[in-house]
């Protein structure tokens, strides 16, 4: 690891000033430090935001929805009895993520902003397109874990399990930087790398992710999450599926179907969502939606298996919702 200067700001504005001066923000460090040890990231300065009070904690206020500070450790959300009752999809998405140690150190902001897990990206010997090179090694190389939909120059997949779950609940993120504050749907934080955009998130290097909010009107949704993985623990999703809907009189309204592990961003299966609108969530509807969700899939040479896997996982997750 290359030497770096270390600062521990106490306030958001101190952290933003450090980031504006070129420091890289670090929360739990479980992803960033790995990238540094592997020679993929080499920041000269680190701003360790772990001590900033306003970024800690979460709260559920009736009428105002759920607010989750960026620094909340994943385990705190996973183990909350209150959250398990009011929005169980959060526990469902976090329990199979990483390991208990990583969920204890890892934070909500860091989870959403973690870099992708493409093995060529993580290996400093491969100067791939996303790292400023000219080619994507995965397209012709080993593409078992890569995208089947929505990719352009880079076929790496969005790795976060929490992101699809929160997007299925219409979550919004608040960012702050030298130009002030902005909010956006969590889904818009993610971008499929393309053209000059050689990154996975739209957050600027001098911005902080401050908090995630789930609006009150989304809290009444029913939700379900399923994850397929190579091992039962310490494994990223080969495919994950988060679904939510309002089910009124047995009929689906405003369905959300969001897939992880299949695209460079958490992937909204909008055609499948439309198909469910106004229908009863019976076996035929679950199957039809699952088929529609994967209709546009274009697997690479090694990851054709993800198409039936994702289709079946969508079907099962919808059945769990029912």
Ligand X SMILES: Cc1cc2nc3c(=O)[nH]c(=O)nc-3n(C[C@H](O)[C@H](O)[C@H](O)COP(=O)(O)OP(=O)(O)OC[C@H]3O[C@@H](n4cnc5c(N)ncnc54)[C@H](O)[C@@H]3O)c2cc1C
- Closer Cβ to ligand X, 236 or 267, answer by number: 236
Only one of the segments 121-129, 164-172, 228-236, 310-318 lies at the binding site for ligand SF4 (rule: CB under 6 A); that segment is: 121-129
Residue 262, interface with ligand SF4 (CB under 6 A)? no
d(CA 157, CA 100): 23
Q: Which of residues 149-188 bind ligand SF4 (CB under 6 A)?
A: 154-156
Residue 43, interface with ligand X (CB under 6 A)? no
d(CA 257, CA 289): 9
Least separation in angstroms between CB 203 and ligand X: 6
Q: If we measure between CA atoms, which residue out of 53, 55, 52, 31 comes closest to residue 43?
A: 31
Tokens 């996982």, residue? 313
Residue 130, interface with ligand SF4 (CB under 6 A)? yes
Least separation in angstroms between CB 96 and ligand SF4: 24
Residue 137, interface with ligand SF4 (CB under 6 A)? yes
Residues 6+ positions from 98 with CB-CB distance below 8 Å: 30, 74, 106, 234
E strand intervals along 51-122: 58-61, 65-69
Interaction partner, residue 129 (ligand X, ligand SF4, none; CB < 5-8 Å by kind): ligand SF4
d(CA 285, CA 279): 7
- Closer Cβ to ligand X, 116 or 143, answer by number: 116
d(CA 105, CA 10): 19
Tokens 């809907």, residue? 245
Tokens of 182: 């902005």
- Closer Cβ to ligand SF4, 68 or 118, answer by number: 118
Out of 19, 23, 118, 149, which residue is the one contacting ligand SF4 (CB under 6 A)?
118
Tokens of 297: 């899939």
d(CA 24, CA 239): 30
Only one of the segments 134-142, 181-189, 200-208, 290-298 lies at the binding site for ligand SF4 (rule: CB under 6 A); that segment is: 134-142
Q: Which of residues 102-161 bind ligand X (CB under 6 A)?
A: 102, 105-107, 109-111, 113-114, 159-161
Interaction partner, residue 107 (ligand X, ligand SF4, none; CB < 5-8 Å by kind): ligand X
The string of DSSP letters for 245-264 reads EEEETTEEEEEEEEEESSSS
Least separation in angstroms between CB 236 and ligand X: 5
User: Reduced to 3 states, what is the DSSP secondary structure of residue 216?
Assistant: helix
Q: Which of residues 70-109 bind ligand X (CB under 6 A)?
A: 70, 74, 97-98, 102, 105-107, 109
Q: Can you say whether residue 254 is alpha, beta or left, with left for phi > 0 and alpha for psi between -120 and 50 degrees?
A: left
Q: Enumerate long-range contacts of 294-299, CB under 8 Å, 24 or more apart.
A: 294/148, 294/149, 294/269, 295/271, 296/149, 296/271, 297/148, 297/149, 297/262, 298/148, 298/149, 299/148
Q: Which of residues 207-236 bind ligand X (CB under 6 A)?
A: 208-209, 234-236
Interaction partner, residue 317 (ligand X, ligand SF4, none; CB < 5-8 Å by kind): none
| Residues touching ligand X, count (CB under 6 A) | 33
Binding site for ligand X (CB under 6 A): 24-32, 34, 49, 70, 74, 97-98, 102, 105-107, 109-111, 113-114, 159-162, 208-209, 234-236
Binding site for ligand SF4 (CB under 6 A): 116, 118, 120-121, 128-130, 136-138, 146, 154-156
């Amino acid at each position: 690891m290359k030497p770096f200067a270390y600062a521990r700001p106490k306030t958001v504005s101190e952290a933003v000033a450090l980031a504006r001066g070129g420091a890289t923000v670090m929360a739990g460090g479980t992803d960033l430090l790995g990238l540094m040890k592997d020679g993929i990231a080499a920041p000269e300065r680190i701003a360790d935001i772990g001590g900033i009070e306003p970024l800690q904690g979460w709260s559920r206020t009736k009428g105002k929805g759920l607010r989750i500070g960026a620094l909340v450790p994943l385990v705190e959300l996973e183990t909350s009895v209150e959250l398990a009752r009011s929005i169980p999809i959060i526990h469902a998405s976090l329990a199979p993520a990483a390991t208990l140690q990583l969920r204890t150190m890892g934070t909500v902001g860091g989870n959403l902003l973690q870099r992708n897990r493409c093995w060529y990206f993580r290996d400093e010997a491969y100067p791939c397109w996303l790292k400023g090179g000219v080619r994507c090694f995965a397209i012709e190389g080993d593409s078992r874990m890569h995208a089947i939909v929505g990719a352009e120059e880079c076929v790496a997949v969005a790795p976060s399990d929490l992101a699809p779950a929160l997007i299925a609940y219409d979550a919004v993120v608040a960012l702050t930087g030298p130009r002030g504050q902005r909010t956006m749907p969590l889904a818009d934080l993610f971008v499929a790398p393309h053209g000059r955009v050689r990154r996975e998130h739209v957050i600027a290097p001098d911005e902080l992710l401050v908090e995630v909010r789930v609006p009150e009107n989304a809290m009444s949704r029913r939700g379900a999450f399923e994850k397929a993985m190579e091992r039962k623990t310490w494994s990223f999703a080969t495919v994950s599926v988060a679904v939510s809907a309002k089910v009124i009189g047995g009929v689906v309204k405003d369905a959300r179907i969001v897939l992880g592990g299949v695209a460079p961003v958490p992937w909204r299966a909008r055609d499948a969502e439309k198909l469910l609108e106004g229908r009863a969530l019976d076996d035929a509807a679950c199957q039809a939606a699952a088929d529609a969700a994967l209709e546009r899939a274009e697997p690479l040479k090694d990851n054709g298996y993800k198409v039936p896997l994702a289709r079946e996982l969508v079907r099962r997750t919808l059945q769990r919702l029912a």
